[in-house]
């Protein structure tokens, strides 16, 4: 591993530590969305007409059993509801509830306020450059992981 990659690995570790602390602070201060359920709730919310649990697993790259537990918890907290799928009676669609939308809005506001404070000394161009670089890195990391998995499967 070259020096630049090693340094990036260190920065990513630091970033993940910061994200973990950020998530814990959110839970401590705002418990509108229980720990571990924000990601699935956001994915459901992005689906204008709802989604199936299997779609949620695919989009979130999550194990179906993990999604099943998360959906059960979201339903139990009143943030999501299951509705019969009009095209497939065996399936149900996951729909975010008004309480779920309110909890998501509150959570997004909390994160927005914190990020505004964290980036107060950044120029708009610096924020845009970071956002662009993170988007590219995330995509390229996904490609590298898929390539790595394909190589492992070939062995």
- pLDDT greater than 70 at residue 101: yes
This prediction's pTM = 0.77
Percent of the chain predicted with pLDDT > 90: 55
Write down the pLDDT at residue 88. 81
* Rounded (5°) CA angle 138-144-150: 135
Write down the pLDDT at residue 76. 95
Q: Could you give the dihedral angle defined by the CA atoms of residues 83, 85, 91 and 97, in that order, rounded to the nearest 10 degrees?
A: -30
- Rounded mean pLDDT of 118-136? 96
78: nearest Cα among 95, 52, 97, 93: 97
Write down the pLDDT at residue 137. 93
- pLDDT greater than 80 at residue 106: yes
Question: Is the dihedral angle over the CA atoms 27, 30, 34, 37 positive or is it negative?
Answer: negative
DSSP characters over the chain? --HHHHHHHHHHHHHHHHHHHHHHHHHHH--SS-TT-HHHHHHHHHSTT-B-HHHHHHHHT--HHHHHHHHHHHHHTTSEEEEEETTEEEEEEEEE-HHHHHHHHHHHHHHHHHHHHHTTTS-HHHHHHHHHHHHHHHHHHHHHHHHHHHHHHH-
């Amino acid at each position: 591993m070259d020096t630049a990659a090693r340094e990036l690995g260190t920065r990513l570790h630091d970033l993940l530590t910061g994200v973990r602390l950020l998530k814990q602070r959110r839970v401590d201060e705002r418990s509108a969305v229980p720990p571990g359920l924000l990601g699935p709730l956001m994915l459901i919310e992005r689906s204008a007409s709802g989604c199936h649990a299997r779609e949620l697993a695919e989009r979130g790259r999550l194990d179906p059993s993990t999604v099943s537990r998360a959906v059960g918890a979201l339903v139990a907290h009143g943030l999501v509801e299951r509705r019969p799928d009009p095209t497939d009676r065996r399936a149900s669609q996951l729909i975010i509830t008004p309480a779920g939308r309110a909890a998501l809005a509150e959570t997004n506001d909390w994160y927005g306020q914190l990020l505004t404070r964290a980036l107060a000394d950044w120029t708009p161009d610096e924020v845009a450059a970071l956002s662009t670089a993170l988007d590219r890195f995330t995509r390229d990391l996904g490609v590298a992981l898929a390539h790595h998995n394909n190589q492992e499967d070939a062995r």
